[in-house]
Amino acid sequence: MITSVISDIEESIFALPENEQLRLIARVAETLRRRQESEDEAELLEMANDPEIQRELREIERDFAHAEFDGLAE
């Protein structure tokens, strides 16, 4: 079933003039890029709110706190 839907979509796309095909591809690519960015942002937000990750970050900060005192933080 999905294969026939994809075939129908392809036929419709190929029936368009070339410039419209390119415009459509650009719009689809932009939509996919935005969706991926949104998913990435949501994943980062979820990670930032994860107590385990927050704990690990505090441990890393403690491990490197001495670098602030030897001038490496500047």
> What is residue 69's predicted lDDT score, i.e. its pLDDT?
67
Q: Which domain holds residue 40?
A: 2-69
> What is residue 71's predicted lDDT score, i.e. its pLDDT?
64
Instruction: Decide if 50 is inside a domain.
Output: yes
> What is residue 70's predicted lDDT score, i.e. its pLDDT?
65
Instruction: Decide if 36 is inside a domain.
Output: yes
Instruction: Decide if 62 is inside a domain.
Output: yes
* Distance in angstroms (rounded) separating the CA atoms of residues 69 and 74: 10
Instruction: Decide if 13 is inside a domain.
Output: yes
Instruction: Decide if 29 is inside a domain.
Output: yes
The domain total for the chain is 1
Instruction: Decide if 74 is inside a domain.
Output: no
Q: Is 62 helix (H, G, I), strand (E, B) or coil?
A: helix
Instruction: Decide if 41 is inside a domain.
Output: yes
Check if the beta carbon of residue 25 is closer than 8 Å to that of residue 32.
Answer: no
- pLDDT lower than 50: segments of the chain: none
> What is residue 66's predicted lDDT score, i.e. its pLDDT?
79
Asked whether the whole model's pTM tops 0.75, one would answer: no
